[in-house]
Amino acid sequence: MTQLENEIKDIKAEVLSMWYLVESQMKKARTAMLHFDRDLAREVVLKERRVNAFELKLDRDCENIFALYCPVAVDLRFLLAVLKINNNLERIGDIAEGIAKYIIESLSDFDHASFMETELIRMFDDSISILADTRLAFEKEDTILARSIFKRDEVLDRINANAISKVTECIKSDMNLINDALYVLSIIRKLERVGDQSKNIAEEIIFYIEAKVLKHNEDIN
């Protein structure tokens, strides 16, 4: 194995470590929301620093490889994809932190009936599952799995599109739920962006494996 191949292998391992951390952040944010666990929410906020540190280190490591080895072909595409995936993962980490902050800021537990009415729990579970499957697609270089993300994101888009009417219904049933409903709506908006970031990652996986650029291409299903 050449030195460049070893460097590429190490970069991939770093990306996967960051991915597992971001997935853990999302899962903890979900648990904190369901159980109104402010201590767990604070842990998510504190660990966002580790996500940021991963992003900075991966950027530096990729830049060093560009400078030292001038990679071409698939190695070049891999590194270019990693730079973008790195940014997408950091943004998902920000989303998990943002959800955790809602829990910390809230004065009382959220109304769980609104979780069911808006399909928030399903949305949370699907967004975590989609994130995990993009990781598997990256790890196994599976473009079929990567392409499946585009269709699955449509479920998140649908829940997001229906959110305002569902939240309005919750508020009409009980005006005391206004604050809870607004938090729920904000969380739904953030989870929809997790789907968008995962789609971006899937596009980068396909780019580096197949040398196909899918951005702005609507025929990707």
Neighbours of 15 (CB within 10 A): 22
**Residue 212 pLDDT more than 80?**
no
Domains of the chain with CATH codes: 3-210 (1.20.58.220)
Structure tokens that stand for 98 in this block: 């943002």
Q: For the beta carbon of residue 130, count every other beta carbon within 10 angstroms.
A: 23
pLDDT at 177: 73
pLDDT in tens, 83-96: 999 999 999 999 99
What pLDDT, in 10s, does the model give residues 39-61?
999 999 999 999 999 999 999 99
Q: Count Cβ atoms below 10 Å from residue 173 Cβ, excluding itself.
A: 13
Nearest to 53 by CA among 14, 23, 24: 14
pTM of the model: 0.93
